[in-house]
Every structure is written in structure tokens, then in C-alpha cells.
Homo-oligomer: A and B are copies of this chain.
Amino acid sequence: MAASGARTAAIIGGGVIGGGWAARFALMGWNVRIHDTDRDAERRINEVIDRARAAMPGLWDVALPDEGRISFHDDLAEAVEGAEWIQESVPERLDLKHEIYAAIQGACTEAAIIGSSTSGFRPSELAEGATRPGQIVVAHPFNPVYLIPLVEVVTGPGTGTARIDRIRSTLRDIGAHPLFLRREIDAHIADRLLEAVWREALWLVSDGVADTAEIDDAIRYGFGLRWAQMGLFETYRIAGGEAGMRQFLTQFGPALKWPWSKLTDVPELTDELVETIASQSDAQSGRRSIAELERIRDANLVAILRGLKARDWGAGRLLNAAERRIGGAPRSLDALSLTSPLPTGARAVPLDWSDQNGHMTEHRYLQAFGDATDRFLALVGCDDDYIACGHSYFTAETHIRHLAEVRAGARIEIDTRLLLAEGRRLRIFHRMWEDSRLVATGEHMLVHVDLESRRAVMPPPELQDKLARVAKAHAHLPEPEGAGAAVGRPPERQPDPQE
């Protein structure tokens, strides 16, 4: 845990936000000293850090540095002494913050950066009466701080370019994105937007148009999906079509004057403002055509939706419900002929399964085969209900042969041959087809396990009987080409793998 020579951050004020900052610094290898007057702070902060340990390191495909040392300090001066970054996250009371800054500045170095997590105050308010006003800046994060990259930064006139450069590089070093405001304003940027939505949402509840769950659905099944990947202006640029933002403003500008919200103070869409917005949008997104932005947006949405589908949450939960209605896969052996391999999959290759060239990525073949294994097992009686009762099959071994490339969007089908059902073991052979073209095979050894002990155990007689029925029928099928092969050796040179 200890990281000697590591950089040091001080966290003043715990809670969810302070704890989130502590986690982000520590997991990026910084030593973190925490000061909070609340006796419960240590427990609460440790809970946040535990959540961060579970979620944050896996964001990247490389290992993070060794975690820094986390310590709790009753004495504020001890916490901030020599710290490179000091983050204040105490309650939103200006008098309290002023008191804390005085104590911090009495003990920290001149070079230290003092960031405030304030949602609403401006740096000029925060730095009133401070010894070194330029040292105090707004660094406003978003919950959960260890996952959401945005940090709004607002500096004062005395901050200086050298310090600004260090703020930028430090926040990037801990995997955050510093968004520097051009000038100070109450509530910065994001909270102004949030506040606008929040007020409108309160009116909708107050007026009985929708309840909180319905308003949340309007967000997470709708524009929330868009905003996770493109913001307001880029989304509207697409809506405007090839003519872009000028077109959009001309088309939808008048709606601003309509009574579409309770909030009616509207900026005048002067020629100048239209020109400002349109040219900023050109600078932001103009190097890509609308068609290109649409393709990017669609691929992003598919990735987000499929990520949520795997978690069975939000819009992903809707997809799973629709999938059950679509059905498609046979659910019972009785409806199937056993004189040919069993149909265990038919699907389109999703956009998020492909590499930059549009070809299906290596591990997605195994994902498709894994789904086919699940369907095969369900057919022989090892379905969700069976698994819920405490037994299942685990894959012990896999052999994949890639025979032809498959592109995103292609419709593939999988059939499955049972090669062996003996005791605790099952050997199956999947074939993946695109039309009549065999594109890959997957051979798998599975073992029946007790999910409590995680050990191999015999399957019950009913399961053995069903497997024996399929095995007996499939024994009449020709040995599939490629079964029993080792990597790099042609299978025909092998002895009978079933021995």
C-alpha cells in the first residue's frame, strides 16, 4: 500500500464528495491525508473508497499505479503540510469555508493548489479576505467523483498561468477532465443546466403532469442516452441535417418563444448570437459530416444500450423485455429433431462487437459461442431455474477455429453437436454460420458443478437422461471436421478424441 516518493493530496471535509476525491487520488497512486471534524467521517469515506476500488481500476486496460497511503488526521495543519493539492469539500457556507481557508493557508506551502468542491460560489467570493487569494480555485466535481471525469475549474485573477498549467496537468494525472470556465458565474456551467432541468421537473410534478419515475424514464430512455456521448449542441447539429447549426436555429428557434416551459426569459436570437453559435459548432464538429456524426452516434448508442442490457438496467432492461417477446430460440428438445445438430443461436453481429474495420472482434466469437452453450444447456434442462437451485456447468476448456471473417450487422447462426456426456463432463461442438458459409467452430469441455462449493459433482438423473438421449442421437452424426484438434495441428492427424 505505501507509496514512498508518491505525491500528496489533502482532503478537507469528507462525505461522499471528499471521499470520492480521496479515492481518485489514492487509486492513482497519491498519498492522501484526510481531515474531517465529523467522528463518522472515517467510516463513510472508507465506504466510498471501497466502492471506488471495485469500480475505478477496471476502467482502464492497464494496471494503475500502486494505491497510495490513506491517513486520517484530527489536525488540519498536519493534513495539509507539504501537500501538493488540497481539496476542500465542506458544507456550502461561505463563513465556514473562509475559516477553513485561513487555517489551510496558515499551514500549507505557497505552491499548493487549494481546490473547492463548491457547487455555487465564485472564486472571488471564496477568496475574500484570504492571505493568498490566487491560490484558491473552484474545482467542482460530480458524483461519483472516482468515475465521472468532469471537474469544472474556475480560477481568479491572481491564480497565474503557471498554477493554471499545474491544475490542468494534475487533474489529468488523476484521470479527470478539467473544464476551465472563461469567467466566473454562480453555479458554473453544469449546475446551471441541472438547475434549469430541476426547476422544470419540479413544476411537472407540482402540476401533476408526471411523477418522479416517469420524469426519470423520460430522461434515461430518451435524451440521457444521447447526452452520455454527445452534448446538446452536437446532437442538435445532427438534427439540423447537412446544413448544420444555422439550419437548426432557423427551424427550431421560434419554438423558444412558445410557452414550452414555465421559464420564459429567453435570450434574443439575434443574427450575432446565431452566428456565434453556428461558428462555435462548426469549430467543434465541422470536420465531420452529419452522416459521419450519425454513424458515430449510432455506434455509441449501441455500445451504451448493450452495456446496459448486460446489466439488465434502464434502457437495457427494456431490451431484455423485448427480447423475451421476440423469442426465437427453441426452448424445448421436444420441438427439435435430434438427427442433426441443435439450433442454439441466430443473431445479428452488433456494432459494438466489431473493430475499427467493422470486423467481428476475436473474443466476440467466444461470446456468441458462450450464449450458444447456455441455450444448449437450457434445452437439456440446465436452465435458469435449474441454476437458481444451485448447480450449473462451467467451461473448463475451449478451442476456437476462425475460418472466415464476419462483419458487424451480419446475421449468424450457430448449431451444436453433443460429442460426449460422461459423468460430470460434457464435450460440445458449435459451428457458426453466415448463410451457408462456416465461419468458425468452437469446441468446449464443460464440467457440472455445485455453485456453493464450486466443485465438480455428478448431474442428477433427469439431466443425465436428457443428455444421454441427445448423445445417442448425435452419435450417428459424422464426426465434425476440426473436432479434437490441438492448436496448429490438422485434426485428421489426431487419434479419435473420444477414445
Contact = CB atoms under 8 A, between A and B. Distances in A.
A132 interface: no
Contact of A64 (B187, B348, B398): B348
B199 A219 contact: no
A311 interface: yes
Nearest to A202: B267
Interface in A51-72: 51, 53-55, 57-65
Interface string A210-249: 1111111111111111111111111000110100010000
Contact of A177 (B212, B221, B223, B296): B221
B224 A231 contact: yes
Interface string A189-203: 111111111111111
Contacts of A225: 147-148, 228
A435 to B, nearest CB: 13
A453 to B, nearest CB: 12
Copy number in the complex reads 2
A239 B16 contact: yes
A4 interface: no
A65 B261 contact: no
Interface stretch (A99-107, A313-321, A458-466): A313-321
A398 B397 contact: no
A37 interface: no
7 contacts: A51-B294, A54-B295, A175-B318, A212-B233, A212-B245, A224-B228, A398-B399
Contacts of A357: 451
B147 A298 contact: yes
Nearest to A405: B454
Contact of A219 (B147, B190, B309): B190
Contacts of A260: 120, 186-187, 191-192, 195
A389 interface: no
Interface stretch (A5-13, A109-117, A324-332, A471-479): A324-332
A294 to B, nearest CB: 6
Contacts of A58: 302, 306, 347-353, 408-409
A197 B191 CA distance: 11
Given A58-B350, A220-B227, A304-B304, A400 B402 contact: no
Given A228-B304, A366-B398, 12 more contacts: A57-B411, A59-B305, A64-B348, A147-B301, A173-B325, A193-B201, A199-B256, A199-B263, A205-B280, A212-B234, A264-B265, A427-B487
A227 B229 contact: no
A217 B177 contact: yes
Contacts of A64: 326, 348
A192 B58 CA distance: 37
A222 to B, nearest CB: 4
A14 to B, nearest CB: 13
A388 B152 CA distance: 37
Contacts of A232: 197-198, 201, 215-216, 219
Interface string A281-317: 1011000000100111111111111111111011100
Contact of A488 (B207, B420, B488): B420
A340 interface: no
B362 A315 contact: no
A437 interface: no
A431 interface: no
A494 interface: yes
A209 interface: yes
Contacts of A327: 62
Nearest to A451: B357
B199 A314 contact: no
A444 to B, nearest CB: 7
Among A58, A221, A276, find the residue whose CB has the most chain B CB atoms closer than 10 A: A58
A394 B402 contact: yes
A377 interface: no
A298 B487 contact: no
A59 to B, nearest CB: 6
Given A179-B221, A367-B363, A323 B198 contact: no
A186 B258 contact: yes
Interface string A448-460: 0001001000000
